Amino acid sequence: MKKKNFYGLWVAALLMMAGGCSEELDGGDDINDRIDGKGEEAYVAVTISSPTTKALTKADRPTGGEDGDEFNGGTSDERKIHDVTVILYGNADGESLNSVTDWNQTVTAEKKIVAVGYHKLDNPEIAHPGGNNHSSVTVKIKSLIPNSLIDKEFGLICVANIGEQLQKAISGESGKKIETVGQLGDYLVGSKIEDITGDAKDRFVMSTHTMSIDGLGTSKVSISTGNNETNPAVTTAFIERLAAKIEVKKTGGDDGYTITDTGKEDGNEIGKVFLKNFTIVNQLQAGTYLLKRVTGIMNELNTSNDNDTYIGDETSTPSGLATNFVIDPWTRGKTGFFNMITRAQDEYNITAGETEYKILYKNSFTNQKVQDASDKLYGDFFKDNGNYHSIVNVEPVYTMENTTSKANQQNGYSTGAIFEGVYVPKSWYMVSGNEYKYPLVNNDGYKTGTPADYYVYNNKIYKDLWTVFADWFYANLENVLDEGEEKDDAYKNFMEKIAGKGLEQTDKDEVKAIVESDPTGYLQATFSQTIKFSDYEKKLDEIGPTLYENGISAYPDGKNYYKYWIRHSNNDDPDVMGVMEFAIVRNNIYDLTVTKVSGMGESPFKPTDPENPDEGQDHYISVEIYVKDWVVRDNGNIEL
C-alpha cells in the first residue's frame, strides 16, 4: 500500500465566552447561550497544515481505487486557503454522537447540523505539502439548535474557499435552509468551472473527504466548559479540492513524429505529424456535489442511491481494478439520450430536475438537439481561439467530476482530449502534364514540414481534389463511352473542358449515367451551373462534409485530429468496459503525455458521434496519464 499524502486542516475547536451565563454549567459564562433563541455563539480556532502520511482522493495504468498511481503536491495557488467554513453535526436529533467506532459511518443523510461558522482570512494561507507548516484561524461559529453544545461530541465537516454562500444556506439567510448532512451532501457547488477554481485559479473549493486517518486524528469535537482561548478542544479536518486537473504535454516530436507504413519503427517512412493544439471536450460545468459520493461495491451502476455513501473511498481489487462508482449529480441521468439530462436531486435534496445537455458540458463533443442528429465536426472545436490550447507551454485545464455507468461510457458524456496536428505526406498522387495523368510523386515540402491541403480516398493520398476526380473519372469513363471511342482521347477532352470553362450541355448529357456516383460532387454541381473544377474546389468549407459522406477525407492545411478519452481506471481489456474506466473524479490530476503518433488522424469534416463507446475505438496517441495531494492516474502510453 503506497503512502497517502493528505492536505489537512488541523482544527483546534475553541469555545469562548461571548456574554451571558447558563446555570447548568460550571463556568457557564464561557458560552453565550443567547436567550433571544438564536443559539449559542462560539469560536473555532483552525490550524492549517499538510501532514504527508496518507493521501487525498485522487488512471496500461491508471489504477482504480482511492490511491491511483502516485501523488503530486500541486502549485501554491492550488493550495491557498482564503476562507474557512466549519460545520458541526450531531445525531438525527442534534444530540451528541456517542460510542462511535468509525466516524466515516456518521456522515449519513439524517444527521442534524448543530452549528456553523465562517471566517475570511485577511491574507491567504498556503498549505505546504510534505511539511507541518501551519497558521491558526479563529472562526466564530453559531449554534443552530436551542440546546447547548457543551459536554457533547459532534462530527466536524470543513469547507474552504466557498465564500459565505454555504454559511448563509445553513443558517437560513439565503432562502431554503440546509439542516441535515444529507442536504449538505446534495448541495451543488458552481454553475461554471470557475466557481470551484476561482477566476484566477487560486481559490479552489475544498471539502472534507474523510473523517479519520490512523495516526493523524479524527474530525470530531468534544467541547467542555473548561475550554478557552489557551485551552481549545483540538480536532482534525482533511479536505480535498472539488476540481479535477488535466495536464497535457508531449515528449519528442519537435521535428515531427515519423509515420511508417506499418506504424512501427522498422516500416517505410511515409509522412510526419507535427502536433500543434489540443482541446478538452465534455468538461462538466453545471455543478458538483459539495461532498464526494460513492456507491457500494458493484459491477454496474444501479438506479437506486440506497447504497450511496458521502465522503466514501473508491475501492478496487488487489490488481487495481475499480469496484465501485463515484457519483456526480447527473451520473444516473446519463442514459444515452443527449437532449435533457435528469438530475437525481436538487441542491437541497427535495425534487428531481432536468438540465439541458448543452448546459451540462463546456465544449460538448456534440451539440445535437435531438437524438441521432449531430452537426458538429472535428474542426469546429478549433475555431474559437479561447476554446483550445497550444501543446507547447500549456496551462492546465480544470473541470468538475464526470462519471457514468459502464454501459454509458460514450463519447457524448466522457471527458476527452482532441489533439490537432499537421500531417505532411512524403508523397502523393498529383495530376501533371497535358494528358492529365496522376502519378505518385514526392512532396516538395516534405523535408521542410510545410503544411498543405491533401485528400484521402480509397486509402490513397491525393495532392488535391482535382486529382481525386481525375482518378475516379478515368476509372468510370468507359461506362459512358460509345463503342469504339478511344478512352484516353475522350478523357483528355473532358478534363480540358472541366479544367477550363466547365462542361457544356452536350458534355453533360454524355456523362449523365455516372453523375450520381461522382464522390467529389462536381458533376452534380455542374449540372445546375457551369463551373470549372478549380472554382468548385475552392468551396471546401461548404462541400467538405459531403465529401466525407462520400468517402473522401479532406485535410485543409494538412490538419488532422486525434481523440483520446481520458481513463480513470484501466481494466486492460480493449473490448470490455470497466467500472469507472472513463471518468473524471475530484482532486485527481490526469496527466496526458503524448509519446508517439503512429498514423494519420481524422479529417476536420468528420462529424462527431456521441453514441460511440469510449472503449474499442482506434486511436493513435500514446499518452501517459497520471491522476494526482492531487492523486495521479497513469493511462500508460497514448498513441495518436
> Quick one: pLDDT at residue 625?
39
For residue 354, how many other CB atoms are within 10 A of its CB?
A: 12
State percent of the chain over pLDDT 70.
Answer: 80
Cell numbers at 28, concatenated: 457557564
Q: Which three cell numbers stand for residue 158?
A: 470543513
Identify the DSSP state of 286.
Answer: S
Please report whether residue 73 resides in a domain: yes
Q: What is the pLDDT of residue 39?
A: 55
Contact yes or no for 188/329 (Cβ under 8 A): yes
- What value does the mean pLDDT take over residues 386-398? 88
CA distance 320 to 62: 9
CA distance linking residue 309 with residue 583, whole number of Å? 18
Q: What is the DSSP letter of 499?
A: H
Mapped onto helix, strand or coil, the DSSP state of residue 122 is: strand
Cα 334 to chain centroid distance, Å, stands at: 15
Using one digit for the tens of pLDDT, what is the confidence trace for 460-499?
999 999 999 999 999 999 999 988 899 999 999 999 999 9
Residue 252, all three cell numbers: 519528442
C-alpha distances in Å from residue 413, one per residue of 319, 583, 592, 609? 27, 9, 19, 11
For residue 83, name the pLDDT band (cuts at 50, 70, 90). very high
Q: Among the three residues 527, 557, 587, which one is the final residue of a domain in this structure?
A: 557
Is there a domain that residue 370 lies in? Answer: no
pLDDT band, residue 629 (cuts 50/70/90) = low
Q: Is 449 part of a structural domain of the chain? A: yes
The average pLDDT across 503-519 equals 94
d(CA 215, CA 57): 18
Q: What is the pLDDT of residues 214-246, one digit of tens each?
A: 887 788 887 777 666 666 667 778 889 999 999
At 345-373, the pLDDT tens digits run: 555 545 567 778 878 899 988 765 444 44
The Cβ of residue 494 has, within 10 Å, a number of other Cβ atoms equal to: 19
Rounded Cα distance between 424 and 453, Å, is 9
The whole-number average pLDDT for the span 21-33 is 33
| Residue 552 counted as domain residue | yes
Q: Is the pLDDT of residue 621 over 70?
A: no
- Of the candidates 98, 78, 102, 265, the residue with the CA atom closest to the CA atom of residue 160: 78
Largest CA distance in the chain: 119
What cell was used for 155? 462530527
User: Strand 559-565 to strand 416-425: parallel, antiparallel, or no bridges (unpaired)?
Assistant: antiparallel
Residue 553's identity, in one-letter code, is S
Is residue 113 within 8 A of residue 179, CB to CB? The reply is yes
In a domain, 91, yes or no: yes
- Of 211, 241, 271, the domain-final residue: 241
CB half-sphere exposure, 528, CA atoms < 13 A: 5
| The predicted structure's pLDDT at residue 367 | 62
Alpha-carbon span 525 to 542, nearest angstrom: 12
* Residue with more model confidence, 202 or 11: 202
Contacts (Cβ under 8 Å, ≥6 apart) of 549: none
Angle subtended at Cα 398 by Cα 397 and Cα 402, rounded to the nearest 5 degrees:
120
Min mean pLDDT across 1-15, 393-407, 475-489, 586-600 is at 1-15
CB atoms within 10 A of CB 496: 12
The sign of the torsion formed by the CA atoms of 612, 618, 619, 623 equals positive
How far, in whole angstroms, is CA 41 from its chain's centroid?
42
Residue 188: C-alpha distances to residues 201, 291, 349 (Å)? 19, 9, 10
More confident residue, 43 or 141: 141
Q: What was the pLDDT predicted at 227?
A: 61
Residue located via cell numbers 516500416: 267
Q: Where does a domain end: 529, 557, 585? A: 557
At residue 158, does pLDDT exceed 50? yes
Residue 41 Cα distances to 22, 32, 115, 341, 473, angstroms: 13, 6, 9, 42, 87
Q: 460-470 b/e with 16+ CB inside 10 Å = b?
A: ebbbbbbbbbb
Q: What angle do CA 372, 374, 375 make, to 5 degrees?
A: 155
- Alpha-carbon gap, residue 166 to 184, rounded angstroms: 9
Assess if residue 290 is contained within a domain: no
| Nine-digit cell string for 287 | 455543478
In angstroms, the CA 499 to CA 464 distance is 13
DSSP symbol at 362: E
Which of 237, 182, 188, 214 has the alpha carbon at shortest distance from 1?
214
Domains: count for the chain: 2
pLDDT of residue 491: 96
- Our CA angle for 130, 136, 140, nearest 5°, is 135
Q: What is the mean pLDDT of residues 566-592?
A: 91
pLDDT, residue 168, reads 95
As a whole number, mean pLDDT of residues 385-406 equals 91
Give residue 36's pLDDT band: very low, low, confident or very high (50, 70, 90).
Answer: very low
Pick from 199, 203, 202, 79: nearest CA to 129:
79
Q: What is the pLDDT of residue 587?
A: 93
Residue 11, pLDDT above cutoff 60: no
Lowest mean pLDDT across 222-231, 377-386, 435-444, 505-514 = 222-231
Domain interval for residue 87: 8-241
Mean local confidence (pLDDT), 532-556: 96
* pTM of structure: 0.86
pLDDT of residue 635: 57
pLDDT at 484: 85
Exposure string of 16-43, with b = 16+ CB inside 10 Å and e = fewer, is bbbebebeebeebebbbbbeeeebbbbb
Structure confidence at residue 616 as a pLDDT band (50, 70, 90) = low
Per-chain mean pLDDT for the chain: 83
Instruction: Please indicate, yes or no, if residue 604 is contained in any of the structural domains.
Output: no
Extract the C-alpha cell encoding 233.
478542544
| Coil, helix or strand at residue 517 | helix
Mean pLDDT within 414-421:
95
For residues 88 and 94, what is the distance between their CA atoms, to the nearest angstrom? 10
Q: What percent of the chain has pLDDT over 90?
A: 54
Q: Which three cell numbers stand for residue 269?
A: 517512412
pLDDT at 9 over 50: no
Res 228: pLDDT? 61
If one compares 14 and 632, the residue with the highest pLDDT of the two is 632
The answer for residues whose C-beta is within 8 angstroms of residue 445's C-beta and 6 or more apart is 424, 451, 452
Residue 25 lies in a domain: yes
